[in-house]
Structure 1
Amino acid sequence: MAAEKHSAYKEELERCNYTLGYVEKSLESTVRKKERLDNDIDSVQKHFTSENSQSYIDLMINTTIRDTLALRLRNLLVARSKPYFARIDFKEKDSSKRENLYIGKMSLMRDEDQEVIIVDWRAPIANLYYEGRIGEADYWCPGGNIKGELTLKRQFAINEGILQEIFDIDITTNDEFLQTYLGATSDNRLKEIVSTIQVEQNKIIRADMWKPLIVQGAAGSGKTTIALHRIAYLVYTFEKSFEPENFMIIAPNKLFLNYISEVLPELGVERVKQTTFEDFAMELIGKRFKLKDPFEKLTKFVNHNVTEEQIYANRILKKCSQFKASMLFREVMDDYVKHIESSFIPKEHFKIANTVVFKYAEINDLFLKQYKNWPIVRRIDEIKKYLSNRLKQKKDVIIFNLNEQCDNVIRNLKDIMEDSEDRQRLIIEAIDKRDAVVGKIESYAKSAVNEYIKKISKFSPYEYYSDLINNEELFNKLLYSKAEKELIDYTRNHTRETLKSGYLEIEDIAPIIYLKYLIHGMDEKIPVKHIVIDEGQDFSAFQFYVLRKIVKDSSFTILGDLCQSIHSYRGIRTWQDVVDDVFEGQKCGFLTLEESYRTTVEIMGAANTVISKIKDHGLVLAKPVIRHGDKVKIIERQSIKEIAEDISARIKRCRSENFKTAAVVCKTVEECQNMYKLLKGKIDDLNIITGKEEEYKNSTLIVPSYLTKGLEFDVVIIADAGIDVYKEDELDIKLLYVSMTRALHKLCIYYNGEISSLLDNVGAHCERDSN
């Protein structure tokens, strides 16, 4: 074991064994406490009655404590195998005591004297490990800046409680340790990276929560893993101010959510909201809609075997998607709401007993001016209160006047008539008439406001959106200066047909939420305080804008890679667009991750050659960490059937070499289905991904190019990179690039006939096989 060769092996072995012993002791204690609590909670639940408020309070408190113990128990079980991964020795300025601190995924303190045994990696002092250099060093904590001297940084490889490696380092991670970590095979789940977080990654994880942060990260730079570690850090740092539910991560699809599902619990974080934009939108709207599969549209755009007519249809469809996802379309929604406002209040006075209580102009002025900062429907609620108060005042005046009139009649009768039965009859008639009118007024006043408010039409956000799409004259009027006539007509007709079919497209969601926000307002305060958005390059500025508007007082971390923007027809073009259109000039943090930790120099070199075909000086190329491997294999075969046979044999060889995961990547789902038929029965544990799956299966996968984004595999095999499959088109370039950069160790690219011109000039990184 390499650790035994280290001069401090004996000291560190003693410390490791001591820590493991204390972990075991804490584990036993925590299990006993949890068992007692479980029994107490079961007992209270059996005898619980709603009349006993103290029992309810005890039950809530004990349940919360049990949840905390369950999380501690989970952390301790992990610490059994790996209690910590690093040590730092730090002496504060003007202090004679040097602290020896061991850093792990959880904190552990000795019960008897509160001595720190393990420091949580998220603690302020742990930042010395990630960013400090030997010598003078400092870190920030709630008490201010702490200065001192860092005399030791040491890394450990501890597995199953056995001390295997010891490295003394200066920067975050030495090459040998990092190479070992990166060279490991994939188990189809993201890794927690607390022991290998690099300086630039650490800056993102620990960045100011309240300042919007945009991260442009190259393929393999660890964006998703960093996103999850950032949430874990924020939950820990703000545990006294916020609950885990106040943090949310938005991922591209449910399959991806399943893929990342184990990381946060492994980092000791539970209850963080993990969702997709579509699902979160449905919650906000309060109704579930059927959504068209966005990959159906993408498949149309990447299919080159089409007629001239279909090429034109795809071009105008792409423009339509781009327009509905744009901030211009948001302006259309603003104009539409102004149109709704202009005729929202019925053009009639609010009267009682033929007396005008409120003139139409007064009510409309309240609606359009005094309450203009409120959502439309909430303005009506305020107007209702105003009308009710004003009606009460007016009603009292009317009744007072009626009483006065009645009294005057009675006085006049007494003045001009002798006391007689006729006079008495007339007096009674006057009083009865007054009482009847007052009764009607009292009765009408109870429902007058509601009756008036009922005349104000209030539709759902979807109904308003549908009304706009179906109103040709209004639609044309609102879009007149914002798009050419052909696009206006196509957008309306295409959207109308989509709505008529009972479906929505993803581009329709942001406008509908925005209408809800402007017209109805949000039903309740959304508890989210920080949103982490992964694969942000495929979001539109309109989507970002809507999220920022509806989630009040929240902050954002947006991570993405413009090189991988396969939905660029509806996504953003530059990060500056997000700064300008979404955060409207607010100062944003912007960080770039160029280092790629996923793949080898050879694979990334070939992939960079492909993405460089896009003549965009703003694209940031990935820089692979110095880890060499096999050259990319480019293999020619005479037919798809021959390719399938070769793939089958290659995967079996890879399995014999102990590579755990492999993906066969085809361009589209249809091609995947054809390949699956050819490989089925030849490869054990073979599964196909179509985009409808919600669970990630740990097996050999056949997957379409556009669903590989965010995933990684030991071995990636691109089934067909022929000249007719991947053309010199921006979308094709990005799909091929994304597919290539999924590979950790081996990449094989097949073709039949002539190879795609995108793979020209990759010779230095590849070897060819044309047998």
Structure 2
Amino acid sequence: MPTHAHDQHNPLERERAHLAASREALRAMRRDAEALNIADVTANWVNAEVLQGEVEARIKALADLAGTPLFFGRLDYLHAPGTDLAEGAAGENFYIGRRHVHDADGDPMVIDWRAPVSQPFYRASKKDPMDLRLRRRFGYTGGQLTAYEDEHLTDPAEDEQHSKLLQAEIERPRVGPMRDIVATIQPEQDEIVRAGIGGTVCVQGAPGTGKTAVGLHRVAYLLYAHRERLARSGTLVIGPNRSFLHYIEQVLPALGELEVRQATVDDLVAHVEVRGADDAAAATVKGDARLAEVLRRAVWSHVRKPEEACVVVRGSRRWRVPAYEIEEIVDELLRRDIRYGAAREALPQRIAHAVLVRMEQAGEAPDDRVQDAVARNAAVKAVVKEVWPPVDPAKLVLRLLGDAEFLAEQAEGILTPEEQKTILWAKPARSVKSAKWSAADAVLIDEAADLVSRTHSLGHVVLDEAQDLSPMQYRAVGRRCSTGSATILGDIAQGTTPWSTDTWEEALAHLGKPGAAIEELTLGFRVPREVIAYASRLLPAIAPDLAEATSIRDAAGDFAIRRVPAAELDAAVIAACREALAKEGSIGLIAADARLPALRAALDAAGLAVLSPGEETSAEARLTLVPATLAKGLEYDYVVLDEPAAIVDGEPDERTGLRRLYVCLTRPVSGLTVVHAAGLPERLG
């Protein structure tokens, strides 16, 4: 598989000319969009505003991102694909890139990677060439096209090998936020990316298998394939924390998608200000799915039996609906299994209808306006307030956590007395505003809010680092895609919360998506072979059912384990950081949270500029000090790992500690240096 560099006898100049022409065509497409005059097109100002917004979004989407290659591959077909398949293109050569670009005649110069005709770029092989004669990959340096590499898929004389340009792209030093992987997607990743919108997909992915990038590319693909549908219903990417969202936020714009909302689970359930924190025991009980039934009981416990008849006075007439009839209406609404608030809104209309029946029997001819007026009558309102009072979700949870008697009543047969005591506040709060709500409390309020009125469902939700969610958090996410689909991404071995999930089947059931397809990614592209093999020694202790990940990377990576006397630990860590800074790319110094103050002081004393997670690396500052608890989902070219024993000891139990260490060990792309004074965990010795 030859890789060609520049000389006058090869086609590189022609490819560069096509790149220049494609960039000019994209600029022309943007100029055309900017020149659109919509003054006389729309009937009213509302339509004009909407159309103007769409034009502005189109102009923004047509930006040529500096340093982002416009195309990264070329497909030469043996036969011309059908015109529908090739977006109206004729001929047999197609350039594959991040977005569609056409010339002045409308002929495609670059095909969007998501189009059907692009699929063989990711899927074709010697065994199944998919009608390709040649697949060409392009290499870029600083935004300039500098090399290409050809695979002749139908040539029996050419061996199938790993692409050198593909490897170089994977290993390219990382400075700044997460990159898209659109040029390096592998067949098993592509299958997940292009899976239909109808079903939920759960991706169990070992470190470095690209599961986060696969999830983001899947959103981009679905928006391409089902744009109108998802424009109406909406999409959402949910990440574990702000640092992580900041790290991934540039991926979708690079793929041409600017309008995807990103949030944490805490953002979704932000009904109250979170100012408090639970201990692990309380958070675990509050996160248990059984709390959903406790809350359901608590909400519906407000419905009371009517004691008196409802007497409606209209003019000189009095209309009486007896208590037993109101009770029948209430019972019928309870049987209907609708939201508490919807049933409460229906009750006055039902009582009013009973009055109208009496009016008709008396010879009157009331219409809908009369029914609405009766429903608003003070006597009807008083009955509704008494029988079906309004429920404020936050006040309900406030009462549940502050009133031992009310909690015991609602949790009887569900939570043990010890569990009830665990979640009861030691000092009940006086009001919703003064309460020191925890993150788990906010999820309970969200559950109660959904019992009162239905949560809006989106068309597609991507949930990353899903293994760390509690059952109640899964339910909160599931409500956001109850009528849509989801892509669930995670790794059981990286679960580091006391309530982290043990099986995806269990998690999917809480999410409301039982029976969803579970795909496993075990082929690593990011973590060097030696590093993933070393970290995988922990799997029997932390996730014995998972397959060990392998790496396609030929490079073993820089890998060193250094034991030093305790007094020299900080100095040895600083020396390892200096060694890493002598190389190209980003460096993450990962340490137990308790070790951060000492390391920050040592870094300052050494005069080394240091960033916090989420801050962008630059030529001036490439070293990030990362608390072990925030390392998940991040990646660095080189990692210096400080004192593994301290990371393990920083967690409430050994299994969680080893899982946290597994996460930290698997953050590097090119090299790992472990520096320790205390003994290593048994499996890593």
| TM-score bracket for the superposition, by shorter chain length | 0.7 to 0.9
Q: 1:239 to 1:394 in 2, by over 3 A?
A: same
Q: 1:10 to 1:758 in 2, by over 3 A?
A: same
Q: 1:760 to 1:679 in 2, by over 3 A?
A: same
Identity score, percent: 20
Match in the other structure for 1:680: 604
Deviates more, 1:386-395 or 1:208-217: 386-395
Distance 2:45 2:434 in 1: 53
Q: 1:650 to 1:16 in 2, by over 3 A?
A: same
Match in the other structure for 1:768: none
Question: Residues 557-576 of structure 1: matches in 2 within 5 Å?
Answer: 557-567=487-497, 569-576=498-505
Distance 1:167 1:244 in 2: 42
Question: Residues 13-52 of structure 1: matches in 2 within 5 Å?
Answer: 13-27=13-27, 29-36=28-35
Structure 2 residue 556 is matched with structure 1 residue 629: yes
Q: 1:496 to 1:563 in 2, by over 3 A?
A: farther
Q: 1:559 to 1:9 in 2, by over 3 A?
A: farther
Deviations 1:432-470 (A, max 9, x none): xxxxxxxxxx99984333343344431310111122223
Q: Which amino acid in the other structure matches residue 296 of structure 2?
A: D
Structure 2 residue 282 is matched with structure 1 residue 290: no
Distance 1:443 1:169 in 2: 80
**1:610 and 1:737 in contact (8 A); partners too:** yes
Distance 1:683 1:245 in 2: 51
Distance 1:218 1:244 in 2: 34
Question: Residues 736-751 of structure 1: matches in 2 within 5 Å?
Answer: 736-751=661-676
Match in the other structure for 1:701: 624
**1:214 and 1:589 in contact (8 A); partners too:** yes
Distance 2:300 2:226 in 1: 41
**1:136 and 1:150 in contact (8 A); partners too:** no
Distance 1:377 1:73 in 2: 47
Distance 1:468 1:580 in 2: 26
Match in the other structure for 1:325: 287
SS of aligned partner of 2:632 = coil
**2:239 and 2:464 in contact (8 A); partners too:** yes
Structure 2 residue 625 is matched with structure 1 residue 720: no
SS of aligned partner of 1:215 = strand
Distance 1:646 1:136 in 2: 52
Match in the other structure for 2:369: none
Match in the other structure for 2:399: 467
Structure 1: where are the runs of 5+ without partners? 45-51, 139-148, 298-316, 401-441, 762-771
Match in the other structure for 1:406: none
**1:245 and 1:273 in contact (8 A); partners too:** no
Question: Residues 387-398 of structure 1: matches in 2 within 5 Å?
Answer: 387-392=351-356, 394=358
Distance 1:460 1:515 in 2: 9
Structure 2 residue 248 is matched with structure 1 residue 260: yes
**1:188 and 1:713 in contact (8 A); partners too:** no
Quick check: which one's helix share is greater?
Answer: 1
Match in the other structure for 2:120: 128
Match in the other structure for 1:347: 307
One of 336, 339, 345 as aligned partner of 1:375: 339
Q: 1:221 to 1:385 in 2, by over 3 A?
A: same
**2:234 and 2:459 in contact (8 A); partners too:** yes
Distance 1:396 1:546 in 2: 47
SS of aligned partner of 2:215 = helix
Match in the other structure for 2:110: 118
Match in the other structure for 2:198: 210
Match in the other structure for 2:322: 359
Alpha-carbon shift at residue 118 of structure 1 (Å)? 1.3
Alpha-carbon shift at residue 55 of structure 1 (Å)? 4.6
Deviations 1:625-661 (A, max 9, x none): 2333355322233335x22222223322322222x21
Q: Which amino acid in the other structure matches residue 104 of structure 1?
A: G
Structure 2: where are the runs of 5+ without partners? 84-89, 154-158, 365-372
Q: 1:565 to 1:136 in 2, by over 3 A?
A: closer
Structure 2 residue 463 is matched with structure 1 residue 540: no
Q: Which amino acid in the other structure matches residue 238 of structure 1?
A: H
SS of aligned partner of 1:383 = helix
Alpha-carbon shift at residue 98 of structure 1 (Å)? 6.0
Q: 1:757 to 1:163 in 2, by over 3 A?
A: closer
Q: 1:173 to 1:20 in 2, by over 3 A?
A: farther
Distance 1:205 1:495 in 2: 50
**2:603 and 2:609 in contact (8 A); partners too:** no
Distance 1:493 1:94 in 2: 67
Distance 1:545 1:445 in 2: 36
Distance 1:244 1:198 in 2: 31
Alpha-carbon shift at residue 550 of structure 1 (Å)? 5.0
Question: Residues 264-275 of structure 1: matches in 2 within 5 Å?
Answer: 264-275=252-263
Question: Residues 167-566 of structure 1: matches in 2 within 5 Å?
Answer: 167-168=150-151, 170=153, 174-243=162-231, 246-282=234-270, 287-292=271-276, 317-341=279-303, 343=304, 346-352=306-312, 357-370=320-333, 372-392=336-356, 394=358, 446-455=377-386, 456-493=388-425, 502-522=435-455, 525-526=456-457, 528-566=458-496
**1:20 and 1:161 in contact (8 A); partners too:** no
Deviations 1:103-161 (A, max 9, x none): 1111122232x3222111000121112112357665xxxxxxxxxx3222222224434
One of 729, 742, 748 as aligned partner of 2:654: 729
Alpha-carbon shift at residue 578 of structure 1 (Å)? 2.3
Match in the other structure for 1:166: 149
Q: 1:489 to 1:718 in 2, by over 3 A?
A: same
Alpha-carbon shift at residue 533 of structure 1 (Å)? 0.3
Aligned length, in residue pairs: 653
SS of aligned partner of 2:55 = helix
Deviates more, 1:541-550 or 1:205-214: 541-550
Structure 2 residue 109 is matched with structure 1 residue 109: no
**1:134 and 1:153 in contact (8 A); partners too:** no
One of 27, 48, 67 as aligned partner of 1:58: 48
SS of aligned partner of 1:502 = coil
**1:563 and 1:620 in contact (8 A); partners too:** no
Distance 1:227 1:247 in 2: 12
**2:351 and 2:380 in contact (8 A); partners too:** yes
Alpha-carbon shift at residue 624 of structure 1 (Å)? 2.1
Alpha-carbon shift at residue 92 of structure 1 (Å)? 5.7
SS of aligned partner of 2:301 = helix
Distance 1:278 1:603 in 2: 33
Alpha-carbon shift at residue 7 of structure 1 (Å)? 11
**1:85 and 1:155 in contact (8 A); partners too:** yes
Q: 1:662 to 1:361 in 2, by over 3 A?
A: farther
SS of aligned partner of 2:672 = strand
Q: 1:32 to 1:547 in 2, by over 3 A?
A: closer
Distance 1:571 1:472 in 2: 28
SS of aligned partner of 2:266 = helix
Q: Which amino acid in the other structure matches residue 552 of structure 2?
A: V
Alpha-carbon shift at residue 222 of structure 1 (Å)? 0.9
**2:524 and 2:552 in contact (8 A); partners too:** yes
Deviations 1:288-307 (A, max 9, x none): 422546xxx6xxxxxxxxxx
Distance 2:468 2:375 in 1: 56
Alpha-carbon shift at residue 490 of structure 1 (Å)? 1.8
Distance 2:655 2:569 in 1: 26
Deviations 1:653-702 (A, max 9, x none): 322222x211222212x32122212221424321345xxxx755654122
Distance 1:459 1:662 in 2: 52
Q: 1:201 to 1:584 in 2, by over 3 A?
A: closer
TM superposition score normalised by structure 1: 0.77
Q: 1:239 to 1:445 in 2, by over 3 A?
A: closer
SS of aligned partner of 2:611 = strand
Q: 1:443 to 1:291 in 2, by over 3 A?
A: closer
SS of aligned partner of 1:510 = helix
Q: Please say which structure displays the higher CA radius of gyration.
A: 1
Match in the other structure for 1:756: 680
